[in-house]
Amino acid sequence: MILDTDGMKPIYIQIAEWIESEIMNGGLNVDEKVYSQYKLADIYNINPATAAKGLIKLAEEGILYDKRGIGKFVAEGARQMIIEKRKNQTLKQLIDDVVTEAGYLQMSEREIIELIRNSWKGGSE
């Protein structure tokens, strides 16, 4: 992963999202130790406090848990928590944006649904 240090998204959020993606794609499994704040800081050349903020965010959400003195680990059910979070936040925002844009273009609900169906099928139609 390459951090976008010039973008609008805070670095600690990017770190948290990267860890979530690693959990989603099987790179990190339940009860597996995640990188420490210091290792993340070294990898991405960022302040350890910034890396820690990303880890803490995931721990507060229940995606990671602490083993005192050892580090943070992937929690049981983390993958499902991430799926639900992304459905309820990320996808909802994308859909809201599509519906808003479709309104500007004066598209009907049927046209939007047809676009989604075509994309779902691989965009071949």
**pLDDT band at residue 105, thresholds of 50, 70 and 90?**
very high
What is the average pLDDT across 4-31?
93
Residues comprising the chain, all counted: 125
pTM (predicted TM-score): 0.77
Predicted confidence at residue 6, as pLDDT, reads: 77
- Residue-averaged pLDDT of the chain: 92
Burial (CB count within 10 angstroms: exposed 0-12, middle 13-18, buried 19+), residue 70: exposed
Predicted confidence at residue 5, as pLDDT, reads: 74
Predicted confidence at residue 62, as pLDDT, reads: 98
* Cα–Cα distance list, 15 to 59, 61, 108, 116 (Å): 13, 14, 39, 31
Residue 51 confidence (pLDDT) above 80: yes
Cα separation, 51 vs 36, whole angstroms: 8
Residue the block writes with tokens 């903020």? 53
What is the average pLDDT across 56-76?
97
What is the average pLDDT across 65-89?
95
What is the average pLDDT across 47-65?
97
Residue 27 confidence (pLDDT) above 50: yes
Predicted confidence at residue 125, as pLDDT, reads: 46
Predicted confidence at residue 123, as pLDDT, reads: 55
Predicted confidence at residue 109, as pLDDT, reads: 93
